[in-house]
Amino acid sequence: MSERRNFIKKSAIGALGAFLLPKSTQAIMNTNNNTHSAKEFPMVISTWRHGLAANDAAMNSLLNGDKAIDSVEIGVRVPEADPESNSVGYGGWPDRDGHVTLDACIMDETGNCGSVSFLQNIKHPISVARKVMDETPHVMLSGKGALQFALEKGFEEENLLTKKGEKRWRKWLETSEYKPIINVENHDTIGLLALDKKGDISGACTTSGLAWKLHGRVGDSPVIGAGMFVDNEIGGCCATGVGEAVLKTLGSFLIVELMRQGATPQEACEEGIARIVKNQNYKDMQIGYLAINKKGEHGSYAVHPGFNYALHQNGENKLIDSNSFIKK
Distance CA 275, CA 252 (A): 12
Using CB under 6 A, which of 221, 252, 261, 324 touches ligand ASP?
221
CB 226 within 8 A of CB 251: yes
Write out the DSSP string of 118-160. Answer: EEES-S-HHHHHHHHHHHSS-SEEEHHHHHHHHHHTT------
Q: Least distance (Å) from ligand ASP to the CB of residue 127?
A: 19
Nearer to ligand ASP, 35 or 47 (CB): 47
Nearer to ligand ASP, 181 or 319 (CB): 181
The answer to whether 302 contacts ligand ASP (rule: CB under 6 A) is no
The answer to whether 261 contacts ligand ASP (rule: CB under 6 A) is no
For residue 203, give the nearest of 178, 171, 172, 225 by alpha carbon. 225
Residue 7: CB atoms within 10 A of its CB come to 11
31 is catalytic: no
The answer to whether 243 contacts ligand ASP (rule: CB under 6 A) is yes
The answer to whether 219 contacts ligand ASP (rule: CB under 6 A) is yes
The answer to whether 203 contacts ligand ASP (rule: CB under 6 A) is no
The answer to whether 70 contacts ligand ASP (rule: CB under 6 A) is no
Nearer to ligand ASP, 32 or 308 (CB): 308
Catalytic residue among 47, 189, 206, 249: 189
Nearer to ligand ASP, 209 or 296 (CB): 209
The answer to whether 210 contacts ligand ASP (rule: CB under 6 A) is yes
Task: Dump strand ranges (E) for the chain.
Answer: 43-47, 101-107, 113-120, 140-142, 190-195, 201-207, 228-231, 235-241, 287-293, 298-302, 308-313, 316-321
Distance CA 306, CA 278 (A): 21
Question: Burial of 167 by CB count in 10 Å (0-12 exposed, 13-18 middle, 19+ buried)?
Answer: exposed
Using CB under 6 A, which of 114, 235, 241, 299 touches ligand ASP?
241
**Coil, helix or strand at residue 189:** coil
Residues pairing with 191 in the sheet: 205
Using CB under 6 A, which of 42, 79, 91, 209 touches ligand ASP?
209
The answer to whether 265 contacts ligand ASP (rule: CB under 6 A) is no
For residue 294, give the nearest of 264, 258, 316, 324 by alpha carbon. 264
Residues 76-115 that bind ligand ASP (CB under 6 A): 87
**Coil, helix or strand at residue 249:** helix
Binding residue count for ligand ASP, defined by CB under 6 A: 15
The answer to whether 207 contacts ligand ASP (rule: CB under 6 A) is yes
Q: Least distance (Å) from ligand ASP to the CB of residue 104?
A: 11
Binding segment for ligand ASP (CB under 6 A), chosen from 125-133, 147-155, 184-192, 290-298, is 184-192
Q: Which residues bind ligand ASP (CB under 6 A)?
A: 87, 186-189, 207, 209-210, 219-221, 240-243
